Amino acid sequence: MLVSSIIGKHIYEKGTCKGRCNGVLLSPKSHTLKYLSCRDESNFTTFFLPFSQVDYVTDAIKLKRFCAASPLRFEKFSIGAPVYDENGVFVGEAADLEVLSSTATQLILTDGNVIPAPMIATCHDAVILRKTPPFPLSRRIPAHAKALLDDKSKKEAFVTKNALLGVIKKGNLIRFTLALSPFSPALDDVFCRKF
């Protein structure tokens, strides 16, 4: 599900329009979609609804029951927010956020670039990206790098601590590191597409 499919839709509970969704609030650590930021169109007040109360989304958002909340320490994601890396360099503009099972999976930029959600450090008026991790734990191991693993780790599909220990024992840590993206000419999709 894309966040753009929620924002701007009217919210109904038992046939009564409660307002319009104007944004979403994410958990800062897990990037889980927790609340909908809504606006009552009759008196222009802002209220928040737990995402768990959403029954289904079609042309409007249907609620199981209306239950306004007061969220603390959540980050509001805004479509169109500028995106900056950890050094303050402009990367692009947020076009959308993909959500799977109420957890953000990837940030989509207007130029088509895709950034994994764990790379988001914070968001509100702007999206700030995290520093790239120094070693690619949980990154996919390409076929050409499997030869550098020890016999115990050959069946590993992703970089784990055990796989790294095996590579260190075999004396191939530098070659193994350079065989992974972003050093390898074959960038894998787990890190980023077109970025």
Contact 36, 61 (CB under 8 A): yes
With beta carbons less than 8 A apart as the criterion, state whether 27 and 74 touch: yes
Give the C-alpha separation, 18 to 14, whole Å. 10
pLDDT in tens, 99-158: 888 888 889 999 988 888 888 888 888 999 988 766 666 677 777 888 888 777 777 777
* Model pLDDT, residue 192: 43
pLDDT at 138: 67
Is 66 inside any structural domain?
Answer: yes
pLDDT digits (tens, 9 = 90+) for 73-105: 888 888 899 999 888 899 999 999 998 888 888
Both 143 and 120 in a single domain? Answer: no
Residues 63 and 81 both lie in one domain: no
Number of domains in the chain: 3
Range of the domain at 185: 134-190
Domain's final residue, options 92, 107, 129 = 129
Return the DSSP state at 150: -
Confirm whether 146 is domain-assigned: yes
63 and 7 co-located in one domain: yes
Report if residue 55 sits inside a domain.
yes
Q: Are residues 158 and 110 in the same domain?
A: no
Q: Are residues 68 and 81 in the same domain?
A: no
Measured at the CA of 33, the angle between CA 27 and CA 37, to 5 degrees, comes to 95
Say whether both 23 and 38 belong to one domain.
yes
Q: What is the mean predicted confidence (pLDDT) over 55-62?
A: 82
* pLDDT (tens digit per residue) in 38-53: 888 788 888 888 888 7
> Residue 188: which pLDDT band, with cuts at 50, 70 and 90?
very low
- Residue 141 corresponds to which tokens in the numbers above? 């191991």
Same domain for 94 and 116, yes or no, is: yes
State the DSSP H helix or E strand holding residue 173, giving kind and residue range, or none if neither: helix 173-179
DSSP state at residue 53: G
Domain at 21, CATH number: 2.30.30.240
What per-residue confidence (pLDDT) applies to 170? 86
For residues 124 and 145, membership in a common domain is answered with no
User: Does one domain contain both 50 and 99?
Assistant: no
Domain boundary among the residues 109, 129, 149 is at 129
